[in-house]
Amino acid sequence: MNIYIGNLPYSVTEEDLRSAFEQYGSVDRANVIMDRDTGRSKGFGFVEMADQSAAQNAINALNDTDFQGRNIRVNEARPRNDRPPRRPY
């Protein structure tokens, strides 16, 4: 299951995400999304977990909890094609 994590502190690393989610099961991949131009975190990321049950437990346990000073949002990631198109500037 691919899990979306939003409202992350800009200082969070992929290892921080991995550590938080490994408490609930095996993490296949942890990814903090970085801005191409600045190299700084965009404040969200994704975690992939193979075990659906462990992933759901992680979502239930971590959603709307304090993570390094910010309340994070955790839910199942939607496929890219399910999102509304971006508006041009």
pTM over 0.85: yes
Residue 28 included in any domain: yes
Span 34-43, average pLDDT: 93
Span 27-47, average pLDDT: 95
Q: Which domain, by its residues, includes 9?
A: 2-78
Residue 58 included in any domain: yes
Span 39-66, average pLDDT: 96
What are the respective helix, strand and coil percentages of the chain, to the nearest 5?
A: 25, 30, 45
Torsion of CA 46, 47, 53, 54, to 10 degrees: -140
Residue 84 included in any domain: no
Residue 85 included in any domain: no
Q: What are the C-alpha distances in Å from 78 to residues 2, 4, 13, 27? A: 8, 8, 22, 18
What CATH number has the domain bearing residue 69?
Answer: 3.30.70.330
> By three-state DSSP, how is residue 49 classified?
coil
Which pLDDT band holds residue 52 (cuts at 50, 70, 90)?
Answer: very high
Q: How many domains does the chain have?
A: 1
Residue 68 included in any domain: yes
